[in-house]
A and B are shown apart, each in its own frame.
Chain A
Amino acid sequence: MNLTLKIWRQKDSKSKGQMVDYKVTEISEHMSFLEMMDVLNEQLINNGDSPVAFDHDCREGICGSCSMYINGEAHGPDRGVTTCQLHMRMFKDGDVITIEPFRAKAFPVLKDLSVDRSAFDRIQHAGGYISVNTSGNTQDANATLISKHNADLAMDAATCIGCGACVASCKNSSAMLFVGAKVSQYALLPQGQVEAADRVKNMVAQMDLEGFGNCTNTGACEVECPKGISLENIARMNRELLKANF
């Protein structure tokens, strides 16, 4: 396939960015989207130009590093996948593809397509954990029974890869799907109960402090989330918050 790519280029967080057009040829439909980007970068390097910066690592859809906004959608046109799992067979010969970074006030651009998502980390520092000693003296893991239903629901919430597609897809740049998933995981497990109230209050406060917007129930996040994290988690977070405040 031959393609035209319109890519956001930005030297660093202080510089102004702009869209730049590139052509790539001989793209195989079996390539992943990131492999197509590798081909472009190899071409740029061989021409003495600077390659496009983008985040990636596992290339298996699990680390949450890759974060491209492709043709107006986080992680591109395929459903339930990350950019590294998106394949070129989703595109046609001659297509023009627009590639931008995830945009949100709380995710400043570092370079080209790479953004700073450390706000997610800071939200977790505010309470995304259970306060247990790492001493090796915890009680036997089978001593507290957990219903399969709750364990499965907690697992579903814990599946979030922290990619930020939910933020990028939301017209309010809200991080509630991510935070809701985190809060839910612990809220569903007996181990997380003791600090539940403080946890949700602190995490939500930090989320607001970081400059993420609020949820207006549009649901774009759920649609674009590569891991199928459901809106129910936002509802659960809101319930937990209400509970915590009364």
Chain B
Amino acid sequence: MKSKSKFAGMIMLLLMFALTACSGGNGPKDGATPSNPDTPKSGNEASTGQDSKEPVTIEFMGHGNPNEKKIFEKLIASFEEKYPHVTVKYTSVPPGEYSQKMTTLISSGKVPDVFYVGGPEFYRFAEAGTLLNIQSYLDQTSLFNPDNVWKQAMDRYRFDGSKVGAGDMYGLPKDVGPWSFVYNKDLFDEAGVPYPSATAGEWTWDDMLEAAQKLTVDANGDGKPDQYGVGAYSLESAVWGNGGEYIDYATGTVKVNEPEFYEAMQFVADLNLKHKVSPNQEAEQAMNAYTRFINGQLAMFAMGPWDQPAFWELPFDWDIAAWPASPKTGQTATWLGSMGFSVSAKSKHPQEAFDLAAFLSLDEQGQRENYQLGQAVPNLIDMAEGEFKEMDKGPQTRQVFLDIIQDYGRPDVVAFSKDTQWIDTFNQNASKVWNGEMSAKDFTAQIQPKMQELYDKGNK
């Protein structure tokens, strides 16, 4: 009951202004030199020393864990070696504050030259004219071959003036994050249950449920299982696999009230409510599925490539498999996350900024370090299909990551939304289904009009 918060927001804003005011000027050297931004030069010939180019400073802002920061510091050092006339100022902010800070910087006209963008952000920034159209630079660059980059990753950063996913490039992928189905091999061995298949479509929901029932164990007989079959099962995977959709972006219709959707949702809810093979909400809050998996008390779970370093430390064997397919359609699906690098439309040195973005996104050595440290799947197709797949650290079946990227991974629901309130409302109230208060059918029928209204208001 303290009134500290009243000014907290305001002070935060002011602090941001203050902080960014200090990082604005780059000295008198640049700015005076028009580096003719209209005629992109090919960026591969490392400058031949002597006179050729005026020194340039570009700012780069990102976020991430200390590991990631280290990688980027290394990458930037090798970039500066390759382009001696460029100095990069790198700022890394905590992920939670990134979106706020970036938006504040944009509104105060102090945008870094190169910065991270993610789903809804990319859309908002592209539409607001904050991002540089890098198509012409891309067409002329000899830094890399666009055909050797995942199409699914590139398409995330296309914008045609009104929609994301088609048109010119306004960013380059930093990574793609295939959300995969992970399982504890030791627990499967103990229970004598065959492993899930790594091939999409072979292993269905029913098979998964059967396995989960055998893998849910209450050893001490207190009525609460101390080992669960499956945890945090992806609703997106179930819905999409079942032929359902959250929304049809082409028409802007929210479709959660259709049978394909609510049947899938009910299936996920019933894993706990009916079959008790998944922790209920309370158990989940007491100890989340991630912790249970790490402790060896959960047989099936989900992971992203960024979980690799933590999972390498685990005392048990684990691997990834294809997400279970809907028995109704035989289809399987999951979401494919992604972050990207964009260049500011206001950048004074668009060529150098583009070169940095391209280097960070696609430099072979950088990509190699990244995957070896377990941060991501390489953006470069030949590397991903070659040395990445051969890597001797878990998961063993790395092909699954690639299958998701190429075949059945889809952008997360919010990737094409500027305003995410409609989906947030769904998630905020979905607990009524998870805890058995309402059936998925009733709940989705009730929430659909609200979601539609919010979507129309925020995105049309």
Q: Does A pair with B?
A: no
